[in-house]
Amino acid sequence: MHATPPQPSRPSASTSASTSASASTSQPAPASRPGAPGGQDAAHGPLAGFTVGVTAARRADELGTLLQRRGATVLHAPALRIVPLADDSELLAATKELIDHAPDIVVATTAIGFRGWIEAADGWGYGEALLGCLRGVELLARGPKVKGAVRAAGLTEEWSPSSESMAEVLDRLLGEGVEGRRIALQLHGEPLPGFVEALRAGGAEVVGVPVYRWLPPEDIAPVDRLLDATVARSVDALTFTSAPAAASLLARAEERGMADEFLAALGHDVLTACVGPVTALPLQSLGVDTVQPERFRLGPLVQLLCQELPSRARALPIAGHRVEIRGHAVLVDDELRAVPPAGMALLRALARRPGWVVARAELLRALPGAGSDEHAVETAMARLRTALGAPKLIQTVVKRGYRLAIDPVAESKYGG
């Protein structure tokens, strides 16, 4: 998709935005309409022109809405599905075991998981027995939301870390000493890396409580489309809210024989954003750099994207206009202009060397599904000029090709 630029015919160079975007299942909210007056953030939202992949199953609608309100196009592909708690025989067995053999300590890790556990136990007829068991133990809650769920059940937590970090919970437990103690740990999707091992090394008996369990999605097609879009650089960012989802997407890429291509996309062009460090582990173990918010919540994750993605876009002074190239759209003097995929491919090829002539043959190779007819370049170029709304941004150099009309004052900055 990113062809090697030709030898320059005149000076002036820069790089283009790092990714391209394609059609998505969810378009931006109406408030982000193109062409509205005012600054780009006020008129369109900071994520306008970018496509963001959402892999979450739980709270996917909430995350998608937050992204769309900021102008993003959202491509949703749940990488996992959650087993309903009432149908989960593993949780039922763990609940009975804890009622029969009460632990010394219970660690609650997620609010939705704790509430679901209490509700499932009540549906099985063990609700009061479970609450009675939990009233007699040292109950630790990881963060304010979990603490709220604990109190809503009529229970009181012994302690909750201010950092909302499981590392702080582990430090407290090991500091108190866990030898000979029975600890029930609420699992959220997969065992917490290193947590259980550290407790057992300290002499504790650890009982896992699988409050919800992940399975592969019943419909794998959306996942495959997201993988294809990532490899094609048609998404600008992928978001992950759980380690199991990250691991599942990586496993599917491996099954399809495209793991190397997928990792290459994440390593160079597609921003990988994780809600927290535990979520990032499967990706980081394969050398993928990730970004994470300081607070492990959806809101801060979206705000992080609002900072990171616009900072990756390239702004160029062209023919007296300020042109910012985003994923699937262009800001021309802060007016958002939707551009077809073929046009974006041509614009990126030109923007890699602003002001330098790019031959038609080179532009043809940059087009999606490139053929052998150079008239396809002329057609796509005409549509690109129309989409940009300022035809003079791109100049035709007779018998040679096309170039971006970089402002003369910027020639030295972009010169070769």
The answer to whether 60 and 110 are in contact (CB under 8 A) is no
Q: Which amino acid is at 276?
A: G
| 85-215 placed in CATH 3.40.50.10090 | yes
The number of beta carbons lying within 10 Å of the beta carbon of residue 236 is 29
Residues in the chain: 416
Here the tokens at position 41 are 């953030």
Which single residue is written with the structure tokens 């702080």? 168
The secondary element (H helix, E strand) that includes residue 187 is strand 182-188
What are the residues whose beta carbons fall under 8 Å from the beta carbon of 6, sequence distance 6 or more? 357, 358, 359, 362
Q: Where are the alpha helices (DSSP H) in 205-242?
A: 221-231
- DSSP lists the bridge partners of residue 316 as 323
SS3 100: helix
CATH, domain range 30-80+218-312: 3.40.50.10090
Which single residue is written with the structure tokens 């369109």? 44
Which single residue is written with the structure tokens 């990250």? 246
Q: Are 85-215 and 314-414 equal in CATH topology? A: no
Give the pLDDT score at 277. 84
Q: Which amino acid is at 115?
A: R
| Domain boundaries along the sequence of the chain | 30-80+218-312, 85-215, 314-414
- Pick the closest to residue 72 from 81, 80, 62, 64 (CA basis): 64
Give the pLDDT score at 331. 93
Q: From CA 142, how far away is CA 108, in angstroms rounded?
A: 6
Q: Which stretches of the chain score pLDDT less than 50?
A: 1-24, 30-40, 416
What are the residues whose beta carbons fall under 8 Å from the beta carbon of 217, sequence distance 6 or more? 57, 78, 79, 80, 81, 223
SS3 77: coil
Q: How many helices (H) and strands (E) does the chain have?
A: 17, 17
User: pLDDT per residue over 203-223, tens digit each?
Assistant: 999 999 988 777 889 999 999
User: pLDDT per residue over 352-382, tens digit each?
Assistant: 988 899 999 999 998 887 667 778 899 999 9
Give the pLDDT score at 412. 57
Specify the fold of 314-414: Arc Repressor Mutant, subunit A (1.10.10)
| Cα distances (angstroms) measured from residue 177 to each of 142, 160, 262 | 19, 17, 44
What mean pLDDT, rounded, does the chain reach?
A: 85
Give the pLDDT score at 297. 87
